[in-house]
């Protein structure tokens, strides 16, 4: 289990390639999720997002979440990278990668990690919009981690199956 909390951007594939190989011998695959800054949320353009964290506590919580995933899913190892600072639209915020012998465990553990990280890790996010700044509040849809998805004030694209929980 490897956790990184950093201001610098990261190259997702380079991080996967650089991961210590001894911990993932026997892996049948990996599942990786990369989250980015939205450019639109709750009927407002997002110019930037500022992410703050509690150093030391943040890393310990991410390590705890990783250990919990390892205890509940048959995975070999995991990687969590989370950025802080001022980020622009479409910049990478987070990467969660899980290695496992079988794909089901990798998919389930990756989903668990990002869902729990999003709701319990000590990060504070503030969106900068054309009309000012606002703190990002807890989203019931994000907290639920629903497989069906939900919107953040953005209409789904044509043919997109992302349902709304904000009705």
pLDDT of residue 165: 32
Q: Are 29 and 83 in contact (CB under 8 A)?
A: no
pLDDT higher than threshold 90 for residue 157: no
pLDDT of residue 42: 76
Mean pLDDT of 124-143: 81
Q: pTM for the whole thing?
A: 0.83
Mean pLDDT of 25-34: 96
pLDDT higher than threshold 50 for residue 106: yes
What SS3 state is found at 93?
strand
End-to-end CA distance of the chain, in Å?
A: 39
Residue 52, Cβ neighbours under 10 Å: how many? 12
pLDDT of residue 160: 34
pLDDT of residue 23: 87
pLDDT of residue 158: 39
Domains and their CATH numbers in the chain: 2-144 (3.90.1170.40)
Report the candidate in 123, 46, 127 with the shortest Cα–Cα distance to residue 90: 46
pLDDT of residue 143: 52
pLDDT higher than threshold 50 for residue 122: yes
Please give the residue that has the higher pLDDT: either 25 or 160: 25
116-138 CB burial, b ≥16 within 10 A, e <16:
bbbeebebebebbbeeeeeebee
pLDDT of residue 167: 29
Token pair 């993932």: residue: 24
DSSP readout, 112-153? HHHHHHHHHS-EEEEEEETTEEEEPPPPHHHHHT-SS---SS
pLDDT higher than threshold 70 for residue 13: yes
């Amino acid at each position: 289990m490897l956790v990184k909390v950093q201001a610098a951007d990261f190259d997702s594939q380079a991080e996967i390639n650089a991961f210590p190989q001894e911990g993932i011998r026997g892996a049948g695959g990996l599942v990786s999720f990369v989250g980015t800054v939205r450019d639109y949320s709750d009927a407002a353009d997002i110019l930037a997002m500022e992410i703050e964290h509690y150093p030391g506590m943040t890393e310990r919580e991410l390590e705890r979440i990783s250990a919990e995933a390892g205890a509940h899913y048959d995975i070999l190892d995991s990687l969590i990278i989370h950025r802080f600072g001022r980020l622009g639209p479409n910049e990478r915020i987070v990467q969660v990668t899980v290695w496992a012998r079988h794909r089901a465990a990798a998919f389930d553990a990756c989903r668990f990690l990002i869902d729990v990280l999003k709701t319990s890790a000590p990060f504070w996010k503030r969106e900068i919009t054309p009309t000012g700044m606002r703190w990002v509040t807890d989203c019931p849809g994000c907290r639920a981690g629903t497989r069906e998805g939900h919107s953040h004030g953005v209409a789904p694209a044509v043919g997109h199956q992302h349902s709304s929980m904000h009705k």
